[in-house]
Structure 1
Amino acid sequence: MTLSLRLPLNGSLETYQLAGTPIAAGNYNPATSRLAFAAAHVVSDPLADNSPGAPAAIDWDHTLGFRRHLWSLGLSVAEAMDTAQRGMGLDWPATQELIRRSAAEAPAGRIAVGVGTDQLPAGTHALDAVIAAYEEQLALAEEVGAQPILMASRALCAAANSPDDYRKVYDHLLSQSSRPVILHWLGSMFDPALDGYWGSDSLDTAADVVVDLINENVSKVDGIKVSLLDAAKEVALRKRLPEGVRLYTGDDFNYPELIRGDGERYSDALLGIFAAIAPAAAAALKALDDGELVKYEEIFAPTVPLARQIFSAPTYYYKTGIAFLAWLNGHQPGFGMVGGLQTGRSLPHLADTFRLADAAGVLTSPELATTRFKQLLAVGGIDA
């Protein structure tokens, strides 16, 4: 049976016929050639007030069910990251509960959690207050036995006057951590409040700061997640890392080439897009494990246009696309988000996302996805 619906295109409607073949479902073991984390979103409680500025109310059954889905595919979970709407609707009380619940269910070694400073109120804070906020969250990560990810901090970016201020904070935190951490470099396209992170507007100068920090704390750094959407900058930094320190790509535009590597070095993965394309990511990583590079490329290639669509400017609204696909694929009952962020993308944008998801084979049940998107279009006044 051919499925079709009418979708917005260039200010009018076109009849679109689904033609993609869903990636085969199944369970996977974790990849052996790469570490792969999917940064997971949260599902809002449809019966609660999740309007902008309201405390986040989470649908725990479906939020945790989505994580079980990722674990069943062999992926690890990067919990309470920006994909989970840190700083965009997910408050600290909800974050704490999310970390505790997710860590309690995670298979051994298959979860890392975001450690930040977002419990601080808006405004400028002294560096000691920033350190104290980080320490509170680091203590929670250690309490639940999860690997810490030292997230880029808006408060630190606002408080720091030089690279030395970043070094003061990070040197202290690394000395406090009982296990190696993942550092986190999030570009300003993901969060404009992080512009000039590491104390410089120059990415090359910032990279010098990061490399010095890592070299002087090698035993305390497992790796660094880099989300700059610039493959050349990532490769250049990767070449400078000391032996044993991983580069976790957060480049949702260029992940296939960065994970594959150049024959000498490669990037591991810590990606928001992996939550949206989880079956494809699992299948591609298995192909890489098996040395089937052509298959690896064939699986990942059609997901790249989808990823570039979901993470298109303004990039920080990519979370809407992640939740949209989770809803289409039946992982949550409604297309709602904490903070009302489901309004972050227009219906034409979501229509393009739908087309590209179909082409990438990541609409796991095309019938359900078509039915659900028709319902959303109808609410928007579109007879699909």
Structure 2
Amino acid sequence: MQSSATDALTLLEASGATSRVELAGAPSFAKPTGPLQSRVAYAAAHVVPVVWGDNTPGSPADIDWDATLAFRRHVYSWGLGVADAMDTAQRNMGLDAAATRELIARSAQVAREEGGSVVVGVNTDHVEEEWINLDAIIDAYKEQLHFTEEQGAGPVLMASRHLARAATSAEGYRRVYREVLAAATTPVVLHWLGTAFDPVLAGYFGSTDWPAASDVLLEVIAENTDKIAGVKMSLLDAAAEVSVRERLPEGVRMFTGDDFNYVGLIGGDESNGGHSDALLGAFAAITPVASAAIQALDAGDPAGYLNLLGPTEPLSRQVFAAPTFYYKTGVAFLSWLNGHQRAFQMVGGLHSARSLPHLSQIVRLANASQALETPDLAAERWHGLLRLNGVDA
């Protein structure tokens, strides 16, 4: 039965059955009056396509720059940094090389205007051939690295599909990273992306066994500590992250990319291995809540941190559910619900990658974790989407 009331949400089950839950009130978070202190936190931001653009899979990305850059200003307004041109921005899943370069340049300019911190992905993906040798991989990395440095953005040296294909041993990884880091003029963040996010990266750093692979990663870091600001781990394995974190040289940060377990990793245990900082796609979906939680840590209130951020972890686990590489759909969906883009659309038509029942669970969990910034708007948009698809709401 259709209702005009906005005090309840209609939810859709996998069976097609519907149910109603109470719509939570608008959150009352306050933006920080100064920089966040206790943690370094980056939200990995997505891109918004032109509504009337050609988003056919394989077509060049047609970006709505106003909406895309406004979202980055939104993140900065909450005291977080922006991680750009990474997998959340559909890198290797619709964001082509030309759009990637333009995004990096535009995002770096917005960071300067807002006084925010931005890091961006450096990869080899502008090379169209699937297989290239190690020398060509080094050159490709250097090309993107130098462009990023010219824009004034911090580089995140992303895992390369080319390197995963070409390296026949751990020594291939050591050589490539050694030569690329030698060319860096500003400290970089290394990115270890797990196969849940990109199956092509199996065996990265020379082994499918994470302890063996982590030894190679730590060797690279130890040889280049003056060139490395941190490492972002996205293995969705909290024990692996803590193990590597405990072995990092002084001054090298661990940025968690674990969208399943970030609450405990960021909260940390200062008596046992410290804490992780954050570089998360999840933080693009829950920016105000993430900011409020870190503000609680800044105020010496770890219980407040847990009370705020803890309920967001089930939401993030739903957004990043298998197949995990389609998590970008949930990030864009929440951006639309929260009024940051005019339509629920994505580059390459990827907004169709999740089912309505999957999205319904995102709505339920966002409602329960204060992640709906303007609940009435979110309810109106969600119910409209259900009706468009023939479901009474």
2:8 corresponds in structure 1 to 4
Q: Give 1:2 deviation, angstroms.
A: 5.4
* Structure 2 equivalent of residue 125 of structure 1: 132
Structure 1 spans left out of the alignment, 5+ residues: none
Does the 8 Å contact 2:293/2:308 carry over to 1? yes
Matches for 1:323-342 after TM superposition, within 5 Å? 323-342=332-351
**Per-residue deviation at 1:371?**
0.9
Structure 2: runs of 5+ lacking an equivalent: none
2:92 to 83, 87, 94: 87
CA distance in 2, matches of 1:217, 1:108: 29
Of 108-117 and 68-77, more deviation after overlay is shown by: 108-117
Whether 1:361 aligns to 2:370 is yes
Provide the aligned length of Structure 1 versus Structure 2: 384
State the 1:27 CA deviation: 2.4
Distance 2:185 2:357 in 1: 48
Q: Could you tell which deviates more after superposition, 4-13 or 53-62?
A: 4-13
Q: Deviations over 1:131-181 (max 9, x none)?
A: 111111101111011110000111110111111111111001110000110
Partner of 2:189: 182
Answer yes or no: is 1:51 the counterpart of 2:48: no
TM-score norm. by structure 2 comes to 0.96
CA distance in 2, matches of 1:32, 1:311: 28
Match among 295, 311, 327 for residue 286 of structure 1: 295
Q: After TM superposition, give the deviation of residue 376 of structure 1 in Å.
A: 1.4
Q: Which residue number in structure 2 is paired with residue 165 of structure 1?
A: 172
Moved more, 20-29 or 99-108: 20-29
- Percent of matched pairs sharing the same residue: 54
Taking the TM superposition and a 5 Å limit, the aligned residue runs for 1:217-366 are 217-264=224-271, 265-366=274-375
Aligned-pair CA distance for 1:51:
1.1
| Deviation (angstroms), 1:318 | 0.3
User: Deviation at 1:120?
Assistant: 1.2
Query: Is 1:100–2:100 an aligned residue pair?
Result: no
Q: What secondary structure does 1:6 align onto?
A: strand
Tell whether 2:222 aligns with 1:215.
yes
1:23/1:279 contact within 8 Å kept: no
Kept after mapping to 1: 8 A contact 2:266/2:277: yes
Distance 1:73 1:269 in 2: 15
Q: CA separation of 1:108/1:367 partners in 2, compared to 1, >3 Å: closer, same or farther?
A: closer
Amino acid at match of 2:22: L
- Residues 151-160 or 117-126, more deviating: 117-126
Instruction: List per-residue Cα deviations over 1:75-103 (Å, max 9, x = no partner).
Output: 00001010000000000100111111110
Q: Distance in 1 between matches of 2:270 and 2:128?
A: 46
Greater shift after overlay, 369-378 or 315-324? 369-378
8 Å CA contact 2:255, 2:278 repeated in 1:
yes
Runs of 4+ aligned structure 1 residues displaced above 4 Å come to none
What is the RMSD of the two structures over their aligned residues, measured on CA atoms? Answer: 1.2
Out of 17, 22, 26, the residue aligned to residue 22 of structure 1 is 26
| Most deviating of 306-315 and 16-25 | 16-25
Partner of 2:379: 370
Shift of 1:14: 2.3
AA in 2 matched with 1:176: A
